[in-house]
Structure 1
């Protein structure tokens, strides 16, 4: 794959690149000892990130074996890896850790500062809790809701307001989180034989008679708590479907003749709440996992039950901790049950899930399985790639932003236990993808609020293209 050219943040003067330094030490050097772990399970409110930065390691010429060893050392030291591609790795660390980064770099690698002041970006993205705005205009995608990030209660309030307002939208509970919060899904489907009951403010959980030939497209987001853009974009897409369902001439109305769309904005509600109320950089769920420091959290996107494997040196406090066994975390287990046999438990309405898209950030990628290894090529790879290229083109046509398409294993260094691997490899959902939304690293997980809407618009265009592609490939003929 041709290496990507990625921008460098210009919040301040850039430091000079650091040339690659071997991991070997001379006899008079002290062994590497890091300060207190960067990542903690602090119970204090509103962790701050003053003095922390994000560095981009350029490792295009580093052997895969050395890349894995480098990543393993970073993870063992509780350093926070933000993103990995075939050519770069983004790493969060305090400026005081810079010398230690020098010592860890593999041969042929170099690094330069990418985000100079992390706290500045955190402040710029935090919702204004003093002025909650719940008078959202539901009849237009220009609603102020899509111009800011929101706490979980506001996400759920907006979803419920959509259910109450739009006839073809209902609400289902996918399951419960570790802390017993509901994992809500919102379903858009048009049924000419039986309209939705109007009881109890729209009948959010009413079951309907379904046409036998309908199939389901599932959109999931929020596995990683700090990726706030995912839930925001998912709800924009849901809103666009709801509005489109009322226009008899719209492409959405045409698609609803054949498809049900199910959107799960926040599969990790506990982690999402924690990222708002305590630690903005929190990634995992909030499950008790033990360890010497009574650690919490499993990386949900490493806990799905396909080619799952335990880490060589388990560290429950690590941000990438995959759990002690597959589906130990209740959140992916609930979602897997829904996708696998929702029709038997009354949730899915009897449709077969035909497509699954998992939303993440960041990197601007649209990827198909497998993520765990490139040694196995999916039988549908040619069709998956054709559709992914079309999705990327639709997104680029909408906004001008380029999204790369390809197989996940070749585009990122992802762990086993990935959601798309399970959905494709076990539940046999053919059109399975993972999307890494904006941006390519300038802001990382702190995408400014004014970029929520354009990101959502391009993703909506891409998903509509995907649905039309599936229709032409499997339903129309």
Structure 2
């Protein structure tokens, strides 16, 4: 009987191990930066991924821009030949992607800090500790992901009558620096002895949702570091099988599906869904924002990577601008002025449709266009492309410091501009 029990347990263990997916590796994968000069090159460049197995790291917008592309060893010579034939100039910016990823390996057992990247469990344990230690924090589960993971919020309020600033992180799974920065800021707000940070917590309420996409985030740690979307099966298939996920920052119901690269391809990284507001994660976020009295939340800031931008509404157009766009530009300029003082990082600011690329259905545009929050933005964090989405963990603290300094200046300018009136 004991032998049978042992064999049964061994069988269960073997089955569990067999079912646990192994993390994808990128040994000798290169990251290319292609410089697309004109519309003719652009139209041909858009077709490359249909014929060669490559991973384009960000949406393809217009000409006169560079685009970063991951290519495995089997396709590198073919890819280089295609670029040569198209007369598209390029450079190799990462020789071995796996070696770069290994620079930010995750210690599952390390306590929460901002020297390394952490798994979801460590982040959530740290939130629990903070919530237990400070009675001015109101901590909630605002909803659950497709796979049932909680989506957590923390509201910091020390005085009645304050207006609020909302910080949102990691709606895109692969952008680890996002939640790392949002939790860095939250830690400063809670634990810093800096007089200015203490004043900010006395005069303003802070609402923080550090992890909008927990399923995707876990998937990037356990299976696929390059994953961007959530993990809901979206009902489509391709030659590799069922397709998963919606780009949740393309699924908000404000000019949804009006513009964007490959937002209609259900198996690509930027699929915005068959209709808006389909994802339970963003519905939970929207319901949470809507649960507060109108006029209470006065600033909404979504944190992303990369490029060092302060992106303002609107994203769906490069010719249409919000009524108070000039005011928002002055506030964004204050952030850039504050951030550059820390380590010299230069942030460019302006409407996202103008500076970055035209795309619809983003959180910041919904917050402005639907909820009427007078200052909204996307902060695209470090860097400008040397490491891109794979920023080494030894830069987390510097990013946190420069963004915190920028945030101080932003809030001061927003107050001067009457945003919190």
Name the SS for the 1:183 alignment partner.
strand
* 2:324 aligned to which of 377, 380, 397: 380
* 1:267 aligned to which of 207, 212, 216: 212
Q: Say whether the 8 Å CA contact 2:175–2:305 is kept in structure 1.
A: yes
| Higher share in helix | 2
* 1:367 aligned to which of 288, 291, 311: 311
Query: For residues 105 and 44 of structure 1, do their structure 2 counterparts lie closer, same or farther at Cα, with a shift above 3 Å needed?
Result: farther
Q: Say whether the 8 Å CA contact 1:299–1:321 is kept in structure 2.
A: yes
C-alpha displacement at 1:234, in angstroms?
A: 0.5
C-alpha displacement at 1:169, in angstroms?
A: 2.1
Partner of 1:121: 100
Name the SS for the 1:294 alignment partner.
strand
Distance 1:106 1:383 in 2: 47
Partner of 2:66: 88
Partner of 1:317: 267
Paired residues for 1:172-251 under 5 Å:
172-191=140-159, 210-211=160-161, 214-244=162-192, 250-251=195-196
Name the SS for the 1:291 alignment partner.
strand
Distance 2:225 2:179 in 1: 15
Partner of 1:163: 131
C-alpha displacement at 1:323, in angstroms?
A: 1.2
Distance 1:216 1:154 in 2: 27
Distance 2:348 2:332 in 1: 9
Query: For residues 394 and 108 of structure 1, do their structure 2 counterparts lie closer, same or farther at Cα, with a shift above 3 Å needed?
Result: farther
C-alpha displacement at 1:280, in angstroms?
A: 1.0
Distance 1:317 1:77 in 2: 16
Name the SS for the 1:146 alignment partner.
coil
Per-residue CA distance 1:222-247 (angstroms, 9 max, x = gap): 01111111111110100000124xx6
Per-residue CA distance 1:169-219 (angstroms, 9 max, x = gap): 22122221111211101111112xxxxxxxxxxxxxxxxxx42xx221111
Per-residue CA distance 1:82-119 (angstroms, 9 max, x = gap): 23576211112214323246437896632221111111
Query: For residues 250 and 280 of structure 1, do their structure 2 counterparts lie closer, same or farther at Cα, with a shift above 3 Å needed?
Result: same
Distance 2:47 2:328 in 1: 31
Query: For residues 476 and 279 of structure 1, do their structure 2 counterparts lie closer, same or farther at Cα, with a shift above 3 Å needed?
Result: closer
C-alpha displacement at 1:133, in angstroms?
A: 2.5
Q: Say whether the 8 Å CA contact 1:255–1:468 is kept in structure 2.
A: no
Per-residue CA distance 1:31-58 (angstroms, 9 max, x = gap): xxxxxxxxxxx97311111232111111
Alignment partner of 1:332 is 2:311: no
Distance 2:246 2:125 in 1: 27
Name the SS for the 2:58 alignment partner.
strand
TM-score normalised according to structure 2 size? 0.86
Name the SS for the 2:103 alignment partner.
helix
Q: Which runs of 5+ in 1 are unaligned?
A: 1-41, 137-144, 192-209, 345-349
Q: Say whether the 8 Å CA contact 2:310–2:378 is kept in structure 1.
A: yes
Partner of 1:9: none
Alpha-carbon RMSD = 2.6
Partner of 1:152: 120
* 2:341 aligned to which of 387, 393, 397: 397
Q: Say whether the 8 Å CA contact 2:302–2:363 is kept in structure 1.
A: yes
C-alpha displacement at 1:343, in angstroms?
A: 2.2
C-alpha displacement at 1:353, in angstroms?
A: 1.2
Query: For residues 72 and 465 of structure 1, do their structure 2 counterparts lie closer, same or farther at Cα, with a shift above 3 Å needed?
Result: farther
Partner of 2:417: 473
Paired residues for 1:52-91 under 5 Å:
52-59=29-36, 61-63=37-39, 67=42, 70-71=45-46, 74=49, 79-83=54-58, 87-91=65-69
Distance 1:357 1:468 in 2: 15
Per-residue CA distance 1:277-314 (angstroms, 9 max, x = gap): 11111111000112222111111111111111288784
Query: For residues 412 and 67 of structure 1, do their structure 2 counterparts lie closer, same or farther at Cα, with a shift above 3 Å needed?
Result: farther
Distance 2:321 2:94 in 1: 36
TM-score normalised according to structure 1 size? 0.77
Distance 1:379 1:78 in 2: 44
Name the SS for the 2:139 alignment partner.
strand
Distance 1:91 1:232 in 2: 25
Partner of 1:50: 27
The count of aligned residue pairs is: 394
Distance 2:52 2:208 in 1: 36
Q: Say whether the 8 Å CA contact 2:117–2:180 is kept in structure 1.
A: yes
Q: Which runs of 5+ in 2 are unaligned?
A: 1-18
Name the SS for the 1:471 alignment partner.
helix
C-alpha displacement at 1:351, in angstroms?
A: 6.3
Distance 2:82 2:364 in 1: 35
Name the SS for the 2:292 alignment partner.
helix
Alignment partner of 1:448 is 2:398: no
Partner of 2:226: 281
Query: For residues 388 and 67 of structure 1, do their structure 2 counterparts lie closer, same or farther at Cα, with a shift above 3 Å needed?
Result: farther
Distance 1:470 1:75 in 2: 46
Distance 2:145 2:29 in 1: 31
